[in-house]
Amino acid sequence: MTTNTLPAAAAGTWKLGSFEVNRLGYGAMRLMSTSDGGIRDRETSLAVLRRAVELGVNHIDTAAFYFAGPRSANELINTALSPYDDLVITTKIGAGRDFEGTFYSARPDQLRAQVDENLRQLGVDHLDVVNYRIGHGLERGTGSIADGFGVLADLREKGLIRELGISNVGPEHLTEALAIAPVVCVQNQYGLTARREDDELVRLCAEHGVAFVPFFAMASGSAEETRVAEVARRHDVTPAQVRLAWTLHQGPNVLAIPGTGGLAHLEQNVAAAALELTGDDLAALEGDA
């Protein structure tokens, strides 16, 4: 099976600056913990990462603050996939967690240390893509990002970072960042029933040739469950696959990074790259039919 016929390639590709990736990628946040809060079996996590690559995933999203108990997403990625041949690893700087697990927002003078931490954990001498993330959790960041993004732009000039993105932001932040350095992606919470105010930001990103990379794209809400279930029934797929397909149908610049720690769910998520929703499906999902 050639690279462009692997399952993750079914939705096509997009260029993150100098890197071309399949639009269906993988998010590492769920690698460490089980759904009930337990610590996931290490060998299972490593197997999931290796299987994702076998299925054609070549874009993996991670962060140094993705850790639980003895498990660290960056360490698992390093163990399973280093030396990352033909892989693009995207990480996040700005948000962080201390050794007790408490989240914090890094000051501009702390960003270099966060970059170095990711370099050590991933075992590389440069980071492919770094998202400057502002705000905590699902809280949208506010205020200027110029100082922090400027630090990362300088590290890019020094060769420690290849490409830059921003995360948890509004349209004003994209405009501000583009005036400082090239931006290859925006990563926000977004989905069929989440943060739909970002519909306009998706379009703005497309105008600038910037990827929009939603997280928590499969989050559900009761109001639309019946509509999602009906579309899933038509195509003999799961509701989660419908949500992923809806995400990918929002534009060629929209990527997906679903996360899972299980092999079966991984296979389902990747298969969603080939799910083609009809106009009637999309109208039904939006409540227009």
Summarised one tens digit per residue, pLDDT across range 44-77 is: 999 999 999 999 999 999 999 999 999 999 999 9
The single-letter DSSP state of residue 135 is: S
Instruction: Name residue, tokens 């996360």.
Output: 259
Contact predicate 88/16, CB 8 Å:
yes
Residue 12: both structure tokens together: 């096509």
The percentage of residues in the chain with a pLDDT greater than 90, rounded to a whole number, is 86
SS3 130: strand
The single-letter DSSP state of residue 58 is: -
- The predicted structure's pLDDT at residue 142: 85
Identity of residue 106: A
Q: What is the pLDDT of residues 20-36, one digit of tens each?
A: 999 999 999 999 998 88
Q: What is the mean pLDDT of the chain?
A: 94
Instruction: Point out the catalytic residue in the list 66, 84, 132, 190.
Output: 66
The architecture (CATH level 2) of 20-219+253-261 comes to: Alpha-Beta Barrel (3.20)
Residue 177: both structure tokens together: 């960042």
- The predicted structure's pLDDT at residue 220: 63
Q: What is the pLDDT of residues 86-113, one digit of tens each?
A: 999 999 999 999 988 899 999 999 999 9
- The predicted structure's pLDDT at residue 199: 95
Q: Helix axis angle, 171-178 relative to 199-207, nearest 10°?
A: 20
- Tell whether the model's pLDDT for residue 1 goes beyond 60: no
Comparing 127-141, 154-168, 172-186, the range with the smallest average pLDDT is 127-141
- Tell whether the model's pLDDT for residue 138 goes beyond 80: no
- Tell whether the model's pLDDT for residue 274 goes beyond 90: yes
66 is catalytic: yes
- The predicted structure's pLDDT at residue 70: 93
- Tell whether the model's pLDDT for residue 215 goes beyond 70: yes
- Tell whether the model's pLDDT for residue 289 goes beyond 60: no
Residue 252: both structure tokens together: 């060629």
Q: Output the CA torsion sign for 121, 125, 128, 132.
A: positive
Mean pLDDT of 251-259: 97
Contact predicate 277/249, CB 8 Å:
yes
- The predicted structure's pLDDT at residue 222: 62
- The predicted structure's pLDDT at residue 35: 85
Which residue blocks in the chain are alpha helix, DSSP H? 42-54, 73-81, 111-122, 146-157, 171-178, 199-207, 225-235, 239-248, 263-271, 279-285
The percentage of residues in the chain with a pLDDT greater than 70, rounded to a whole number, is 96
Q: Predicted confidence band at 287 (pLDDT cuts at 50, 70, 90)?
A: confident
Contact predicate 247/275, CB 8 Å:
no
Residue 34: both structure tokens together: 């089980």
- Tell whether the model's pLDDT for residue 122 goes beyond 90: yes
Q: Which of 161, 239, 169 is nearest to 198 (CA)?
A: 169
Cα separation of the two ends of the chain: 39
